[in-house]
Amino acid sequence: PRGAARLGDGDVLVGGVSLTELAEAYGTPVYVLDEAEARRRAAGYRTALPDASVHYAAKAFLCTSFARWMDQEGLGLDVCSGNELALALAVGFPAARIILHGNAKTESELLLAVKHGVGRVVLDSFPEIAHLAALADPARPQGVYVRVVPGVAAGHHAAVRTGVDDQQFGFALEDGGALEAVERVLDQPHLRLDGLHCHLGSQITDIEPFLTAVGRLVGLLGRLRERRGVTLPELDLGGGHGIAYRVGDAELPPEDFAAYVLPRLRACCAEAGIPVPRLVLEPGRAIVGPAGVAVYRVLSVKVAASGRRFVAVDGGMSDNPRPALYGAEYSVQLIGRRSAALMEPARVVGRHCEAGDVLVPDASLPADVRPGDLLAVPASGAYQLSMASGYNLVARPPLVGVREGAWKVLLRREALSDILEREGVGAAG
């Protein structure tokens, strides 16, 4: 459908479509995804880094339309489950441009990757090296990366810092595990080692950790050259590029990788006497995060005995678990009407049955916010719908894609029948 192109008082347009109109058409909570913004961000990586290979990290958010958009923008895809892989393959995403990740892949996931010719499988443990070697097609060696833990701490929360030694992903540089993993892969004739991989963490806003990681990984490449005489053509630095959740927050744009990481890579390689590998990146959040907005309706407003004003909305930790899981910070604004009231502190909470269901602990909202009002939370495109749960059997919200004043439902709201069908009860009960 097309928007009525009338802008009511306090209306906010995304992709030329009124959020109020979408809230009325589809109910709330509703997630809105700005197609042009996601495409612009994807294209921004290609422009800033024309010689790099950029793979969108599907874990941030994936649906069939989004996979197509990324394909059309010339990006590859990073998937970390058989279902993400199968969804991408179902819309004809070229398997050669897919990277499969995971610290605990199942045999059927590895087989699916091998069967469809997935470009790279990222090896994460010694048993997996042997396992994949046994499954690989002798007629078509499987391209692989070895995931290295560079010993670099970065990321917005301990839960996402995968560059340090005491966590479950990859092979450490520290204890020689990475070197041994590489040597074992080189001994497998059905595996083709295309490069090293590392992923430091997520929502990193500083380039320095990436520069340190480059130095350490190139160090390993140099040792490989000495010991085995091999040169690896690719170096995958994973994702983790931070976005601004609130106005004024720092972000890490692709231009910084061009300005700082590429020169560092060249310098380190020159020092190590090895050819410069092609840079591979896997941004997820930086492409989809800022393109999404969540729209909620206020259901209740109360002042607790503590004196705090609680504004409760019709969604919460089931559609956005990030504040509860990581203390993630968002901004929130009243939309759909203009208020002349003074801004006052408010805690925006969800509708789930626990006091931890807080979306924005220290928001500032007009004093007259009342039930029926609409609230918008920007930068809601990444790790929200992809991490949504069915807690309290609250329906997963719909996602509406907007572009140039028109919209399309990309994901419909979960229905009671979806929930009952899983139990074999069926819609009729």
- Residues annotated as part of the active site: 353
Whether 326 has a binding-site annotation, put simply, is yes
Q: Is 320 in the site for ligand LLP (CB under 6 A)?
A: no
Which residue, 101 or 264, is less far from ligand LLP as judged by CB?
Answer: 101
Q: Is 318 in the site for ligand LLP (CB under 6 A)?
A: no
Q: Is 41 in the site for ligand LLP (CB under 6 A)?
A: no
Q: Which string of x and - marks every residue 82-121 that binds ligand LLP (by CB under 6 A)? A: -------------------x--------------------
Q: Is 285 in the site for ligand LLP (CB under 6 A)?
A: yes
Report the alpha-carbon distance of residue 336 to residue 348 in Å, rounded: 17
Is residue 187 packed enough to be buried (19+ CB in 10 Å), middle (13-18) or exposed (0-12)?
exposed
Q: Is 383 in the site for ligand LLP (CB under 6 A)?
A: yes
Q: Which string of x and - marks every residue 242-281 that binds ligand LLP (by CB under 6 A)? A: ----------------------------------------
Whether 282 has a binding-site annotation, put simply, is yes
Among 112, 160, 221, 359, binds ligand LLP (CB under 6 A): 160
Q: Is 203 in the site for ligand LLP (CB under 6 A)?
A: yes
Q: Is 374 in the site for ligand LLP (CB under 6 A)?
A: no
- Match 């009729």 to its residue by tokens: 428
Q: Is 297 in the site for ligand LLP (CB under 6 A)?
A: no
Q: Is 60 in the site for ligand LLP (CB under 6 A)?
A: yes
Please give the size of the binding site for ligand LLP, defined by CB under 6 A: 21
Which residue, 21 or 357, is less far from ligand LLP as judged by CB?
Answer: 357
